[in-house]
Amino acid sequence: MSGAGGYDGSMKRVLLSWSSGKDSAWTLYVLRRDPAIEICGLLTTVNAEFDRVAMHGVRRTVLEAQAAAAQLPLWKVPLPWPCPNEVYEQRMAEICQRATDQGIGAVAFGDLFLEDVRAYRERQLAPTGLEPLFPLWRIPTDALAKEMIAAGLRARISCVDTKQLPAAFAGREFDENLLRDFPPSTDPCGERGEFHTCVYAGPMFTAPLPLANGEIVTRDSFVFADFLLPAS
């Protein structure tokens, strides 16, 4: 269903927006269970200044290891820092053209319930002919978080917005203990930007990534936990 297989006209060819976190990883797991879907690659924006996944702050080396564990090609979109919106939209338009040139018909996102985010993605894809897919849309996030954990998804918090969540949550394991410790105002999946994660194991990977914890740094109101892979 995924990766380097030949084109099958009966299947929908899909590019998956990949943040390096749990929601996009779970979206991959869900889509791979659909026999009508072929996942053709993981699409990720990378902050070229820091060589890390935009927003999540995950190292490019970890991102590449995730793609290898998912057995999918990585479509990296390098972005300058800071990145004007027109530059972002130009780079995304180029990647959408590349996708349509390869017979890809849809882009899937791990969005959960933010209507403005979904509307933005739909507007951006409308001129491209690519269909936006939202496989996790409106699944109750408390149940979704518990389902991910029960199925073996493993992730750690890579970024915390300290305006919404205490800095001490950075670097913590995404597990039942974490869910219990969240303040009542925190969405269990962090959909309002309270936190972002780095996934390192789960049913969407062939093997776990041997992540080691690195330093924790603060930039403005955000706290980032660094994760490392053993030197090869």
Residue 3 has pLDDT above 70, yes or no: no
Residue 232 has a pLDDT of 52
Residue 7: inside a domain: no
Query: CATH code at 200?
Result: 3.40.50.620
**pLDDT over 70, % of the chain:** 95
Residue 133 has a pLDDT of 98
Residue 165: inside a domain: yes
Higher per-residue confidence, 56 vs 98 = 98
What is the DSSP secondary-structure string of the chain? -BTTPPP-TTSEEEEEE--SSHHHHHHHHHHHT-TTEEEEEEEEEEETTTTEETTT--BHHHHHHHHHHHT--EEEEEE-SS--HHHHHHHHHHHHHHHHHTT--EEE----S-HHHHHHHHHHHGGGTPEEE-TTTT--HHHHHHHHHHTT-EEEEEEEETTTS-GGGTT-B-SHHHHHHS-TTS-TT-TTSSEEEEEEESTTSSS----EEEEEEEETTEEEEEEE----
Overall residue count recorded for the chain in this entry: 232
Residue 130 has pLDDT above 60, yes or no: yes
Residue 3: inside a domain: no
Average pLDDT, the chain: 92
pLDDT band, residue 231 (cuts 50/70/90): confident
Residue 33: inside a domain: yes
Residue 137: inside a domain: yes
Residue 41: inside a domain: yes
pLDDT band, residue 13 (cuts 50/70/90): very high
Tally the domains of the chain.
Answer: 1
Residue 85: inside a domain: yes
Residue 118 has a pLDDT of 97
Question: What is the mean predicted confidence (pLDDT) over 33-40?
Answer: 96
102-116 per-position pLDDT tens digit:
999 999 999 999 999
Residue 89 has a pLDDT of 85
Residue 60: inside a domain: yes
Residue 83 has a pLDDT of 78
Question: What is the mean predicted confidence (pLDDT) over 198-226?
Answer: 96
Neighbouring-strand partners of residue 45: 77
Taking the alpha carbons at both ends of the chain, their separation in whole angstroms is 30
Nearest to 110 by CA among 170, 53, 42: 42
Could you give the angle at the alpha carbon of 93 between the alpha carbons of 117 and 193, nearest 5°? 25
Gyration radius from the chain CA atoms: 17
Question: What is the mean predicted confidence (pLDDT) over 187-191?
Answer: 97
Give the residue numbers spanning the domain of 169: 12-228
Residue 94 has pLDDT above 50, yes or no: yes
Nearest to 31 by CA among 115, 106, 120, 99: 106
Neighbouring-strand partners of residue 171: none
pLDDT band, residue 9 (cuts 50/70/90): low
